[in-house]
Structure 1
Amino acid sequence: MTNAKSATLISQNNNNTDNIMDRRNFLKVVAGATVVAINPSLIRGNLYADDGRLFKAYEKTQLLDASGKPIKASMLEKEITYIFNYPYASTPCMLVNLPKPTAQNVELKSDSGEAYVWKSGVGKDRTIVAYVAICTHQLTHPTPNDSFITYVPTTGKTMAYDKSGVIVCSSHLSAFDAGAGAKVLGGAATQPLQAVVLEHAADDTLWAVGILGQDKFHDYFKEFRPEMKQFYGGPAEAKKLVSISAKTVKLSEFTKEIIQY
């Protein structure tokens, strides 16, 4: 009996050791190199890495066009603002295929002082970016009625900044750098737009897997409660998490009027 019991305890200890090692192998922070070996689409909650990155994972969601077909990165039109709702049913995000490769490993900071790093755009040429289309100043965002926030193509003009090819919120003329993590270039905003973390698959499809930057969703839901009922059937429906897929359309098809100065 004693030998059998000892053998059982040894077996349990070995299993516990194996489980600990498995967890350590799943999430490794390499000292000195600050490498986080983790699949963002498999985790939930806030991830604070040693380099100050702030990331929140949500359901891995495939971007589809209006007809329900997977969007291919290579088929996105250049400098067109596309809209999809993620990570909640009522939170609009913008998708843009920029005219040139984005910057890489851009260091950003939220109003709360939290530093984080935006890695880069995705796609063959690193030109595709996605951001939560809710201005960090006073939460201006696209609705089915109108939109004061959009990407201004390089051929366009804006009063918000001396160069085009930027994201502009025309409510208070805030400008954000679309190719550098949506960092603030000018205007009333004091922190970047939240970034949508994208995965570009081997078959050229695009997937949203999480959000990078200071969370503004709680303030958004609180501030626009009547709108949640008008467009989404109520707060409960508006706060439903998106999963599996998200319909993606041009901003001009999402809203009746685009206001841009």
Structure 2
Amino acid sequence: MAVSPSCINSKLYADNGTLFISYERVQLLDANGKPIKASSLKKETNYVFNYPFVSTPVILLDLDEPTLKDVKLKSEDGEEYIWKGGVGSKGTIVAYVAICSHQLAHPTPEDSFLQYCQKDKKTMSYKEGGVMVCSSHLSAFDVKSGCKNLSGPAEEPLASVILEIDKDDTIWASAVLGPDKFHEYFKAFKPELKKFYGGKRKGKKKIKNSATLLPLTEYTKEIVQY
């Protein structure tokens, strides 16, 4: 029996080791509250929305070419899972939890040390562009292969967010796949949660119905990339 991930609110382990947690299915909207259309996304542009919690940032990208499919990934403790690939008409749209798997660097309204580096640019984190980079400790991740770790101290991929594109071209988020860092994040950044979200309890509230998608340049004041 086939079951949509958005219909299940629990942690699932499949025979092949696949691990995901399904959350409420939410629609991505622009700053004016209008539905985002997949066809309107700009290529290789960092977009940010918060999901599945009020305080947990996600980076969404429309890449310049299709991703790989059915990529086998492994968490730091050895658990394997399968990343199915990008979505959209060309399989180029991806979304990843923007909390570094090394020491939890992430975008905030003040700054962002974690973001995608376009193909025509280079950073100290990796020899080539077209990767997600964390300038906090110079880790790099392959956005076309489930954000698996490529270099630096990070020892596991970034968790990915399951996206669904409806027939009307609207974009929805429904689940998180892979080893998320939410528990560690909430524990480590209590002062930040109080400053930006009114406290840990409010920051841990689950997103319902919709989430606002913004370019990273509008989400944060300063982008730091080495």
For residues 150-204 of structure 1, the C-alpha deviation after alignment (integer angstroms, 9 at most, x for no partner) is 0001111111111100000000110000111000110110000000000111111
Report the residue type matching 1:157 in the other structure.
K
| Contact persistence 2:75–2:156 (CA under 8 A) | yes
Moved over 6 A (4+): none
Q: Percent identity among equivalent residues?
A: 58
TM-score, length-scaled by structure 1: 0.86
Equivalenced residues, count: 226
Residue 48 of structure 1 corresponds to 13
Mapping of residues 40-189 of structure 1, within 5 Å: 40-189=5-154
**What is the alpha-carbon distance in structure 1 between the residues aligned to residue 92 and residue 24 of structure 2?**
23
**What is the alpha-carbon distance in structure 2 between the residues aligned to residue 215 and residue 159 of structure 1?**
25
**What is the alpha-carbon distance in structure 2 between the residues aligned to residue 105 and residue 200 of structure 1?**
19
TM-score, length-scaled by structure 2: 0.99
Report the 3-state secondary structure (helix = DSSP H, G, I; strand = E; otherwise coil) of the residue aligned with 1:160. coil
| Contact persistence 2:111–2:223 (CA under 8 A) | yes
For residues 18-48 of structure 1, the C-alpha deviation after alignment (integer angstroms, 9 at most, x for no partner) is xxxxxxxxxx4xxxxxxxx211000011110
Superposed displacement of residue 215, structure 1? 2.7
Structure 1 unaligned spans of 5+: 1-27, 29-36
Backbone CA RMSD of aligned residues: 0.6
Instruction: Select the residue among 205, 209, 212 that pairs with 2:174.
Output: 209
Superposed displacement of residue 243, structure 1? 1.1
Report the 3-state secondary structure (helix = DSSP H, G, I; strand = E; otherwise coil) of the residue aligned with 2:217. helix
Question: Per chain length, whose mean CA-contact separation is higher, i.e. which structure has more relative contact order (CA < 8 Å, sep 6+)?
Answer: 2
Report the residue type matching 1:154 in the other structure.
K
**What is the alpha-carbon distance in structure 1 between the residues aligned to residue 210 and residue 90 of structure 2?**
24
Report the 3-state secondary structure (helix = DSSP H, G, I; strand = E; otherwise coil) of the residue aligned with 1:222. helix
Structure number with larger C-alpha Rg? 1
Instruction: Select the residue among 209, 218, 223 that pairs with 1:258.
Output: 223
Q: Which has the higher helix share?
A: 1
| Contact persistence 2:110–2:221 (CA under 8 A) | yes
Report the residue type matching 1:141 in the other structure.
H
**What is the alpha-carbon distance in structure 2 between the residues aligned to residue 118 and residue 170 of structure 1?**
25
Matching of residue 39 in structure 1 with residue 39 in structure 2: no
Report the residue type matching 2:85 in the other structure.
S
For residues 66-113 of structure 1, the C-alpha deviation after alignment (integer angstroms, 9 at most, x for no partner) is 111111101100000000000000000000000000000000000121
